[in-house]
Amino acid sequence: MIEIKSVSLVREGQRVLDSIDLLLPRGGLTALVGPNGAGKSTLLSLAARLLPLQDGSVTIDGLPVESTPGKLLAKKIAILRQDSGPPPRVSVRDMVGFGRFPHSGGRMTAQDRTMVEEALARFELEALANRSLDRLSGGQRQRVMVAMTYCQDTDYILLDEPLNNLDMYHARQLMLELRRLVDETGRTIVIVLHDINHASASADRIIAMKNGMIAADGTPETVMRTEVLEAIYGFRVPVIETNGMRLALQYASCAP
Amino acid sequence: MFVPAIPLHRRVVMSAGLCLALLVVASLAIGVEEISLSSTARSVPLADLLSISRLPRTLAAVLCGAGLAVAGQILQTLTRNRFVEPSTAGTAQSAALGILIVTLFLPAAGLGMKALVASICALAGTALFLSTAHRLPPEQPHLVPLFGMVYGGVVGAAVTYVAWQNDLLQYLDIWTNGEFSGVLRGRYELLFVAVVIVAVAMLIAERLTIMALGEAQATSLGIDYRRMTQIGLVLVSVMSALSVVVVGLIPFVGLVVPNLVSRLSGDNLRGTLPLTALGGAILVLASDIAGRIIRFPYEIPVGTVMGVIGPAVFLWFVLQERRDA
């Protein structure tokens, strides 16, 4: 369980997070949605000890993130942030293999290698395995990063906008794959999404953030409602129900 | 650990090794004192010539080259910028400042003391560079080397000023322009520390490669980013300081070699560091040999030779980078 207790963060005089309390029990696919600048990425980074806590506490299975050795945490929780920096000239296979570092310490065993191959297959990257990362498109690179994060083989996986740059096919594939991971291996996945319809279709729970606070929290049925979405995004979003799913029609011509 | 897909890399390493071996033989043979098996009327016995002068000189060039190339690679990893190296990050200039301080306050101090103080100064100077470089906007990669050159220039100017005030300008030239002609047995052995530095770098190669992905990614993979940065800084600083103390500043090796290797074999340091070390040794030794031949029997310092080759290659890289983008 990830336990976030009264976490606040102030950056350059701006309150980014305002006393967030959140319990993420083991298992399940949780989508984090909300407008730009709501504090979603910051919350994820704090939970995964990539930013120092200013106020409040975060524990993962009872381990406080700020005092637990990084090596130990790296076997519990993996985080993928939004892409930054120039891509290195490293092969896709090597890159995915870096995900094994917390386990292998740099010396890959046969088991580590099997895991890498499995990750390559799972995210349909076999054909690219020997290509250098700087020769891939943004979407391909994004899938490599997700595969690397998966390869870390942690109970908790935090993904910050992994659908960035992905085409319709690969976005859907990734969501299906994450769903399968949760259902088959009991992993806990938290994913920041901008496409709330993906959240509605795949997530067990949707947490909406706004202005550094939690604006809505519940199953897709409770969050995917016109009045709730209006409170979050500030405009009327028609919601229809089809194939047992609630879909938001946020498109320009779908006037309410 | 090479994926079977790149036997090319292995071939490159082997040819580099062969190339270095040939250069070593050439370096032992070339000099003012002629070496031939038939000459009986030589002024210096062959064994002495080799063991006192030629071999130390050759080894010094190999060790400096390998160490500086690896140091450049580490610095590029820490800054996440391909265009920095110890002489454009204030490292070498800070080391010169250290030697100057020792010369002023402990004129009787030996090479070891000089190396120690130079290393400490280099460490402080590079740490300051790094902490500033991390604050520069990452979307403008050329700002980092630009800042480094200005920063190195400022430290260098301070060194010159202090040296001028104390009538030490002539000494200063010895440290700021790398040269191997003064290398003799008993005066270069400190450079064997380069072997340790290269070995440590190879041990932490995987960590360094992951660190090049950025602090967040490295932390997520369980790497203690701060501690590894400190270790990297020590490696870079000690290597640069040693080379400045023993032979003087050799610019551009740490820049040219890692960039060439990256183009040939990629950025997975675990596979490429041996090639980087070999490449550095080749470049410096070849430059030293060239410096000995060009106006034989006089010599051109290796720092000068490198000062001509380096910027040309650097410019080519920058232009290539633009074409690739």
Whether residue B266 contacts residue B272, with contact meaning beta carbons closer than 8 Å, is answered with: yes
Q: Report yes or no: B133 at the A interface, CB cutoff 8 Å.
A: no
Q: Report yes or no: B7 at the A interface, CB cutoff 8 Å.
A: no
- How much is the average pLDDT of A67-93? 91
Share of chain A above pLDDT 70, in %: 99
Report the b/e string of B45-77 with b at 16+ CB within 10 A: eeeebbeebbbbbbbbbbbbbbbbbbbbbbbbb
Model pLDDT, residue B324: 60
Q: Report yes or no: B141 at the A interface, CB cutoff 8 Å.
A: yes
Q: Report yes or no: A78 at the B interface, CB cutoff 8 Å.
A: yes
Instruction: List, for residues B68-85, the tens digit of each pLDDT value.
Output: 999 999 999 999 988 899
pLDDT range class, residue B10, cuts 50, 70, 90: confident
Nearby residues of B180 by Cβ (< 8 Å), 6 or more positions away? B57, B60, B61, B247, B288, B302
Q: Report yes or no: B130 at the A interface, CB cutoff 8 Å.
A: no
Nearest to B239 by CA among B194, B203, B282, B273: B194
What gap in Å lies between CA A238 and CA A230, rounded to an integer? 9
DSSP 3-state assignment of B223? coil
pLDDT range class, residue B36, cuts 50, 70, 90: low
Q: Any long-range contacts for B148-151 (C-beta under 8 Å, 24+ apart)?
A: B148/B84, B148/B88, B148/B89, B148/B90, B149/B88, B151/B89, B151/B90
What gap in Å lies between CA A197 and CA A182, rounded to an integer? 19
Share of chain A above pLDDT 90, in %: 91
A32's enclosing H/E stretch is: strand A28-33
Instruction: List, for residues A139-167, the tens digit of each pLDDT value.
Output: 899 999 999 999 999 999 999 999 988 99
pLDDT at B41 over 70: no
What gap in Å lies between CA B209 and CA A141, rounded to an integer? 17
Nearby residues of A172 by Cβ (< 8 Å), 6 or more positions away? none
Is B17 among the domain residues?
A: no
Instruction: List, for residues B179-224, the tens digit of each pLDDT value.
Output: 898 888 888 999 999 999 999 999 999 999 999 999 999 999 999 9
Instruction: List, for residues B79-103, the tens digit of each pLDDT value.
Output: 998 889 998 899 999 999 999 999 9
A179-193, A215-229, B167-181: least confidently modelled range: B167-181
Q: Which amino acid is at B317?
A: F
Which of A 152-211 lie inside 8 A of B, CB atoms? 152
What gap in Å lies between CA B217 and CA B139, rounded to an integer? 18
pLDDT at B1 over 50: no
pLDDT at A230 over 80: yes
pLDDT at B5 over 90: no
The CA-atom distances, in angstroms, between A97 and each of A137, A149, B218, B320 are 20, 10, 13, 29
Closest residue in B to A47 (Cα–Cα): B220
Mean pLDDT of chain B: 89
Instruction: List, for residues B262-291, the tens digit of each pLDDT value.
Output: 988 999 999 999 999 999 999 999 999 999
Instruction: List, for residues A1-32, the tens digit of each pLDDT value.
Output: 999 999 999 998 999 999 999 999 999 999 99
ipTM for the complex?
A: 0.91
Whether residue A95 contacts residue A143, with contact meaning beta carbons closer than 8 Å, is answered with: no
Domain containing B298 equals 53-324
Is B151 among the domain residues?
A: yes
CA dihedral sign of residues B28, B30, B34, B35: positive
Q: Which two tokens stand for residue B216?
A: 């967040």
What gap in Å lies between CA A59 and CA B243, rounded to an integer? 48
What gap in Å lies between CA B210 and CA A185, rounded to an integer? 27
pLDDT range class, residue A47, cuts 50, 70, 90: very high
- Total domains present in chain B: 1
Model pLDDT, residue B325: 53
Top pLDDT among B122 and B41 is at B122
Model pLDDT, residue A54: 95
Model pLDDT, residue B128: 95
Q: Report yes or no: B176 at the A interface, CB cutoff 8 Å.
A: no
Distance from CA of B219 to the nearest CA of A (A): 7
What gap in Å lies between CA A158 and CA A149, rounded to an integer? 9
Distance from CA of B236 to the nearest CA of A (A): 21
Model pLDDT, residue B2: 45
Are the Cβ atoms of B268 and A90 closer than 8 angstroms? Answer: yes
Q: What is the CATH number of the domain that holds B97?
A: 1.10.3470.10
Are the Cβ atoms of A70 and B219 closer than 8 angstroms? Answer: yes
Q: Report yes or no: A62 at the B interface, CB cutoff 8 Å.
A: no
Model pLDDT, residue A50: 93
What gap in Å lies between CA B2 and CA B180, rounded to an integer? 36
Global confidence as pTM: 0.91
pLDDT range class, residue B142, cuts 50, 70, 90: confident
- How much is the average pLDDT of A40-60? 95
Is B4 among the domain residues?
A: no
Instruction: List, for residues B219-239, the tens digit of each pLDDT value.
Output: 999 999 999 999 999 999 999
Distance from CA of A110 to the nearest CA of B (A): 13
pLDDT range class, residue B4, cuts 50, 70, 90: very low
Is B42 among the domain residues?
A: no
A2-223 is a CATH 3.40.50.300 domain: yes
DSSP 3-state assignment of A77? strand
Distance from CA of A168 to the nearest CA of B (A): 26
Nearest to B239 by CA among B24, B66, B57, B56: B66
Beta bridge partners of A208: A33, A216
pLDDT at B40 over 60: no
Q: Which two tokens stand for residue B266?
A: 């990629």
DSSP state of A243: T
User: Which ranges of B204-268 does DSSP label H, i.e. alpha helix?
Assistant: 205-211, 215-220, 225-246, 253-265
Nearest to A215 by CA among A26, A33, A15, A14: A33
Q: How many Cβ contacts (< 8 angstroms) between chains A and B?
A: 76
Model pLDDT, residue B3: 47
Instruction: List, for residues A86-130, the tens digit of each pLDDT value.
Output: 889 999 999 999 999 999 998 899 999 999 999 999 999 999 999
